[in-house]
Amino acid sequence: MKKIGIVTDSAANLPAEIVEHGDIKIIPMRISFARRTYLDGVDLTAGDFYDKIQESEHLPVIEPPTSGEFCEIFESMKEEGYEGAVCILMSNNIFPSFNAACEARNLVRPFPVVVVDSHTASMNQGFMVLEAMKAADAGLSIPEVVESAWKLRPGLHFYGMVGMLHYLVRARRLGKFSAFLRALFNYKPVVTIDGDDGRIKPVTRVKSRDQCFRFFIQEIEKLPAADGKLHVAVLHADETAAAQELFGLLKERFKDGELYLLELTPAVGFHTGPGLIGVSFYRG
Protein backbone atom coordinates (compact mmCIF):
# COMPACT_ATOMS: atom_id res chain seq x y z
CA MET A 1 0.00 0.00 0.00
CA LYS A 2 1.02 3.59 -0.64
CA LYS A 3 1.49 6.13 2.14
CA ILE A 4 -1.07 8.68 3.31
CA GLY A 5 -2.24 10.92 0.45
CA ILE A 6 -2.38 14.71 0.72
CA VAL A 7 -5.24 16.70 -0.83
CA THR A 8 -5.75 20.46 -0.98
CA ASP A 9 -7.58 23.07 -3.02
CA SER A 10 -6.03 25.51 -5.48
CA ALA A 11 -6.15 28.28 -2.85
CA ALA A 12 -2.98 26.78 -1.34
CA ASN A 13 -0.89 28.72 -3.87
CA LEU A 14 1.78 26.00 -4.02
CA PRO A 15 4.79 26.59 -6.31
CA ALA A 16 4.46 24.75 -9.63
CA GLU A 17 7.77 22.92 -9.19
CA ILE A 18 6.61 21.45 -5.87
CA VAL A 19 3.26 20.37 -7.28
CA GLU A 20 5.02 18.77 -10.24
CA HIS A 21 7.42 16.69 -8.15
CA GLY A 22 5.44 16.27 -4.90
CA ASP A 23 2.70 13.76 -4.17
CA ILE A 24 -0.14 16.26 -3.67
CA LYS A 25 -3.63 16.16 -5.19
CA ILE A 26 -5.04 19.62 -5.92
CA ILE A 27 -8.74 20.30 -6.51
CA PRO A 28 -9.26 23.53 -8.48
CA MET A 29 -11.74 26.28 -7.67
CA ARG A 30 -14.23 27.21 -10.41
CA ILE A 31 -14.12 30.83 -11.63
CA SER A 32 -16.90 32.27 -13.80
CA PHE A 33 -16.74 35.42 -15.91
CA ALA A 34 -20.04 36.16 -17.65
CA ARG A 35 -21.09 32.85 -19.19
CA ARG A 36 -17.73 31.08 -19.19
CA THR A 37 -16.39 29.01 -16.30
CA TYR A 38 -12.70 28.21 -15.78
CA LEU A 39 -10.80 25.88 -13.49
CA ASP A 40 -8.21 27.70 -11.38
CA GLY A 41 -4.71 26.71 -12.46
CA VAL A 42 -6.01 24.40 -15.21
CA ASP A 43 -7.35 26.66 -17.96
CA LEU A 44 -6.99 30.01 -16.14
CA THR A 45 -3.74 31.32 -14.67
CA ALA A 46 -3.58 33.86 -11.86
CA GLY A 47 -2.28 36.45 -14.34
CA ASP A 48 -5.23 35.85 -16.67
CA PHE A 49 -7.58 36.20 -13.72
CA TYR A 50 -6.30 39.68 -12.78
CA ASP A 51 -6.42 40.80 -16.40
CA LYS A 52 -10.04 39.70 -16.67
CA ILE A 53 -11.00 41.42 -13.39
CA GLN A 54 -9.80 44.76 -14.71
CA GLU A 55 -11.43 44.27 -18.11
CA SER A 56 -14.80 43.08 -16.82
CA GLU A 57 -17.66 45.33 -15.73
CA HIS A 58 -18.83 42.69 -13.28
CA LEU A 59 -17.13 40.80 -10.47
CA PRO A 60 -16.41 37.14 -11.18
CA VAL A 61 -18.15 34.31 -9.37
CA ILE A 62 -15.88 31.83 -7.59
CA GLU A 63 -17.23 28.49 -6.48
CA PRO A 64 -15.54 25.89 -4.24
CA PRO A 65 -15.16 22.26 -5.30
CA THR A 66 -18.31 20.16 -4.94
CA SER A 67 -18.68 17.09 -2.76
CA GLY A 68 -18.70 15.06 -5.98
CA GLU A 69 -15.31 16.44 -6.99
CA PHE A 70 -13.86 15.65 -3.57
CA CYS A 71 -15.42 12.21 -3.72
CA GLU A 72 -13.82 11.56 -7.10
CA ILE A 73 -10.37 12.45 -5.74
CA PHE A 74 -10.80 10.31 -2.61
CA GLU A 75 -12.07 7.35 -4.63
CA SER A 76 -9.16 7.60 -7.06
CA MET A 77 -6.70 7.60 -4.15
CA LYS A 78 -8.39 4.53 -2.73
CA GLU A 79 -8.06 2.78 -6.10
CA GLU A 80 -4.40 3.82 -6.35
CA GLY A 81 -3.68 2.01 -3.08
CA TYR A 82 -3.28 4.87 -0.60
CA GLU A 83 -3.83 3.99 3.06
CA GLY A 84 -5.94 7.09 3.58
CA ALA A 85 -5.94 10.85 2.94
CA VAL A 86 -5.50 14.16 4.75
CA CYS A 87 -7.34 17.04 3.09
CA ILE A 88 -6.16 20.56 4.06
CA LEU A 89 -8.42 23.36 2.88
CA MET A 90 -8.62 27.13 2.76
CA SER A 91 -10.23 28.81 5.78
CA ASN A 92 -13.95 28.12 5.74
CA ASN A 93 -14.51 31.75 6.76
CA ILE A 94 -12.87 32.95 3.54
CA PHE A 95 -14.27 30.34 1.18
CA PRO A 96 -16.54 27.40 2.12
CA SER A 97 -15.08 24.10 0.91
CA PHE A 98 -15.00 22.30 4.24
CA ASN A 99 -18.59 20.98 4.32
CA ALA A 100 -18.40 19.55 0.80
CA ALA A 101 -15.16 17.74 1.67
CA CYS A 102 -16.72 16.34 4.87
CA GLU A 103 -19.71 15.08 2.92
CA ALA A 104 -17.37 13.34 0.48
CA ARG A 105 -15.36 11.90 3.37
CA ASN A 106 -18.52 10.27 4.70
CA LEU A 107 -19.39 8.83 1.29
CA VAL A 108 -16.03 7.06 0.79
CA ARG A 109 -15.93 5.27 4.15
CA PRO A 110 -14.33 2.98 5.25
CA PHE A 111 -11.48 4.66 3.31
CA PRO A 112 -10.12 6.99 6.04
CA VAL A 113 -10.06 10.72 5.27
CA VAL A 114 -9.42 13.58 7.71
CA VAL A 115 -10.56 17.05 6.55
CA VAL A 116 -8.70 20.03 8.04
CA ASP A 117 -9.86 23.66 7.99
CA SER A 118 -6.48 25.40 7.84
CA HIS A 119 -7.90 28.69 9.27
CA THR A 120 -5.70 30.39 6.69
CA ALA A 121 -5.13 30.63 2.94
CA SER A 122 -2.62 31.06 0.14
CA MET A 123 0.94 30.03 0.99
CA ASN A 124 0.19 29.82 4.71
CA GLN A 125 -2.13 27.00 3.76
CA GLY A 126 0.54 25.79 1.32
CA PHE A 127 3.14 25.60 4.08
CA MET A 128 0.78 23.38 6.09
CA VAL A 129 0.27 21.16 3.04
CA LEU A 130 4.04 20.85 2.56
CA GLU A 131 4.51 19.93 6.21
CA ALA A 132 1.83 17.26 5.86
CA MET A 133 3.51 15.93 2.72
CA LYS A 134 6.84 15.63 4.56
CA ALA A 135 5.16 13.73 7.40
CA ALA A 136 3.42 11.40 4.93
CA ASP A 137 6.70 10.81 3.09
CA ALA A 138 8.25 9.84 6.43
CA GLY A 139 5.63 7.12 6.81
CA LEU A 140 3.69 8.69 9.67
CA SER A 141 0.07 7.76 10.43
CA ILE A 142 -2.94 9.93 9.58
CA PRO A 143 -3.18 11.44 13.12
CA GLU A 144 0.56 12.19 13.05
CA VAL A 145 0.33 13.81 9.62
CA VAL A 146 -2.54 16.01 10.79
CA GLU A 147 -0.68 16.92 13.99
CA SER A 148 2.45 17.89 12.01
CA ALA A 149 0.46 20.31 9.83
CA TRP A 150 -1.66 21.69 12.67
CA LYS A 151 1.34 22.36 14.93
CA LEU A 152 2.74 24.62 12.21
CA ARG A 153 -0.34 26.85 11.99
CA PRO A 154 0.20 29.09 15.08
CA GLY A 155 3.61 30.11 13.77
CA LEU A 156 2.41 31.09 10.29
CA HIS A 157 2.10 34.77 9.39
CA PHE A 158 0.60 36.63 6.44
CA TYR A 159 0.55 40.35 5.70
CA GLY A 160 -0.58 41.99 2.49
CA MET A 161 -0.83 45.62 1.37
CA VAL A 162 -4.02 46.21 -0.59
CA GLY A 163 -3.45 48.21 -3.74
CA MET A 164 -6.84 48.99 -5.29
CA LEU A 165 -9.33 50.43 -2.81
CA HIS A 166 -12.00 50.88 -5.49
CA TYR A 167 -12.04 47.09 -5.95
CA LEU A 168 -12.84 46.60 -2.26
CA VAL A 169 -15.72 49.07 -2.67
CA ARG A 170 -17.02 47.15 -5.70
CA ALA A 171 -16.77 43.93 -3.69
CA ARG A 172 -18.57 45.60 -0.73
CA ARG A 173 -15.64 45.00 1.61
CA LEU A 174 -14.93 48.69 2.18
CA GLY A 175 -17.39 51.57 2.49
CA LYS A 176 -17.21 54.32 -0.16
CA PHE A 177 -16.62 57.06 2.42
CA SER A 178 -13.88 55.07 4.13
CA ALA A 179 -12.22 54.40 0.78
CA PHE A 180 -12.45 58.10 -0.13
CA LEU A 181 -10.72 59.16 3.09
CA ARG A 182 -7.95 56.60 2.73
CA ALA A 183 -7.35 57.56 -0.89
CA LEU A 184 -7.40 61.27 0.04
CA PHE A 185 -4.63 60.79 2.58
CA ASN A 186 -2.86 58.18 0.42
CA TYR A 187 -3.18 55.42 2.99
CA LYS A 188 -3.21 51.77 1.99
CA PRO A 189 -4.49 49.11 4.39
CA VAL A 190 -2.34 46.14 5.33
CA VAL A 191 -4.40 43.01 5.97
CA THR A 192 -3.70 39.74 7.72
CA ILE A 193 -5.50 36.42 8.17
CA ASP A 194 -6.67 36.06 11.74
CA GLY A 195 -5.30 32.84 13.20
CA ASP A 196 -8.33 32.26 15.41
CA ASP A 197 -11.23 32.54 12.97
CA GLY A 198 -9.44 32.51 9.61
CA ARG A 199 -10.90 35.81 8.35
CA ILE A 200 -9.12 38.52 6.38
CA LYS A 201 -8.76 41.57 8.65
CA PRO A 202 -6.95 44.93 8.57
CA VAL A 203 -3.91 45.15 10.84
CA THR A 204 -2.33 48.55 10.02
CA ARG A 205 -2.02 51.11 7.22
CA VAL A 206 0.92 52.57 5.35
CA LYS A 207 1.53 55.55 3.08
CA SER A 208 4.12 54.09 0.73
CA ARG A 209 5.49 50.87 -0.67
CA ASP A 210 8.81 51.46 1.10
CA GLN A 211 7.01 51.85 4.44
CA CYS A 212 5.12 48.64 3.72
CA PHE A 213 8.31 46.74 2.90
CA ARG A 214 9.90 47.96 6.14
CA PHE A 215 6.84 46.72 8.02
CA PHE A 216 7.14 43.28 6.41
CA ILE A 217 10.85 43.05 7.25
CA GLN A 218 10.28 44.14 10.86
CA GLU A 219 7.60 41.46 11.30
CA ILE A 220 9.88 38.77 9.87
CA GLU A 221 12.74 39.89 12.11
CA LYS A 222 10.53 39.40 15.19
CA LEU A 223 10.80 35.64 14.72
CA PRO A 224 13.60 34.21 16.88
CA ALA A 225 16.36 32.66 14.76
CA ALA A 226 16.47 29.79 17.24
CA ASP A 227 13.05 28.66 16.02
CA GLY A 228 14.63 27.23 12.88
CA LYS A 229 15.02 27.95 9.20
CA LEU A 230 13.13 30.92 7.74
CA HIS A 231 10.53 30.19 5.05
CA VAL A 232 9.09 33.15 3.12
CA ALA A 233 6.73 33.44 0.17
CA VAL A 234 6.44 36.83 -1.54
CA LEU A 235 2.92 37.02 -2.97
CA HIS A 236 1.43 39.51 -5.40
CA ALA A 237 -1.71 40.18 -7.42
CA ASP A 238 -0.60 41.66 -10.74
CA GLU A 239 2.34 43.48 -9.11
CA THR A 240 5.29 41.64 -10.64
CA ALA A 241 7.86 44.45 -10.50
CA ALA A 242 7.12 45.37 -6.88
CA ALA A 243 7.14 41.71 -5.85
CA GLN A 244 10.52 41.17 -7.52
CA GLU A 245 11.87 44.23 -5.67
CA LEU A 246 10.63 42.89 -2.33
CA PHE A 247 11.94 39.42 -3.14
CA GLY A 248 15.39 40.90 -3.82
CA LEU A 249 15.38 42.81 -0.54
CA LEU A 250 14.42 39.73 1.46
CA LYS A 251 16.90 37.49 -0.34
CA GLU A 252 19.70 39.91 0.49
CA ARG A 253 18.64 40.38 4.10
CA PHE A 254 17.79 36.77 4.96
CA LYS A 255 20.47 34.78 3.17
CA ASP A 256 19.71 31.56 5.04
CA GLY A 257 16.01 31.59 4.16
CA GLU A 258 13.95 29.51 1.76
CA LEU A 259 12.18 32.06 -0.46
CA TYR A 260 9.42 31.77 -3.05
CA LEU A 261 7.99 34.36 -5.45
CA LEU A 262 4.35 33.63 -6.34
CA GLU A 263 1.31 35.28 -7.89
CA LEU A 264 -1.60 35.28 -5.45
CA THR A 265 -4.19 32.60 -6.10
CA PRO A 266 -7.52 33.91 -7.49
CA ALA A 267 -9.41 32.44 -4.52
CA VAL A 268 -7.70 35.02 -2.27
CA GLY A 269 -7.17 37.68 -4.93
CA PHE A 270 -10.94 37.72 -5.46
CA HIS A 271 -11.29 39.16 -1.93
CA THR A 272 -8.48 41.73 -2.19
CA GLY A 273 -8.40 42.63 -5.87
CA PRO A 274 -5.37 43.33 -8.09
CA GLY A 275 -2.51 45.36 -6.65
CA LEU A 276 -1.91 43.40 -3.46
CA ILE A 277 1.63 42.58 -2.44
CA GLY A 278 2.37 40.54 0.65
CA VAL A 279 4.37 37.91 2.48
CA SER A 280 3.67 34.56 4.11
CA PHE A 281 6.38 33.35 6.47
CA TYR A 282 7.41 31.20 9.42
CA ARG A 283 10.46 29.68 11.04
CA GLY A 284 10.73 25.97 11.64
pLDDT at 185 over 50: no
In a domain, 54, yes or no: no
List pLDDT tens digits, range 125-169: 999 999 999 999 999 999 999 999 999 999 999 999 987 544 443
Does pTM surpass 0.85? yes
Residue 159: CB partners within 8 Å, gap ≥ 6? 190, 191, 192, 203, 215, 216, 219, 278, 279
The pLDDT of residue 123: 96
What's the number of domains the chain is made of? 2
The pLDDT of residue 254: 95
Same domain, 78 and 182: no
Same domain, 128 and 258: no
For 3-162, where are the E strands, in sequence order? 5-9, 24-27, 30-33, 36-39, 61-63, 85-89, 113-117, 157-161
Beta strands 277-283 and 230-236: pairing type? antiparallel
Parent domain of 135: 5-29+64-153
The pLDDT of residue 164: 59
Q: How confident is the model at residue 269 (pLDDT cuts 50, 70, 90)?
A: confident
Last residue of some domain: 122, 153, 184? 153
Same domain, 127 and 188: no
What CATH code is carried by the domain that includes residue 9? Answer: 3.40.50.10440
Q: Average of pLDDT values for 215-221?
A: 97
C-alpha distances out from residue 44 to 28, 31, 280, Å: 10, 8, 23
pLDDT at 45 over 60: yes
pLDDT at 32 over 70: yes
Last residue of some domain: 132, 153, 174? 153
List pLDDT tens digits, range 158-181: 999 987 544 443 444 444 434 444
The candidate with the shortest Cα–Cα distance to 205, out of 215, 195, 196, 197, is 215
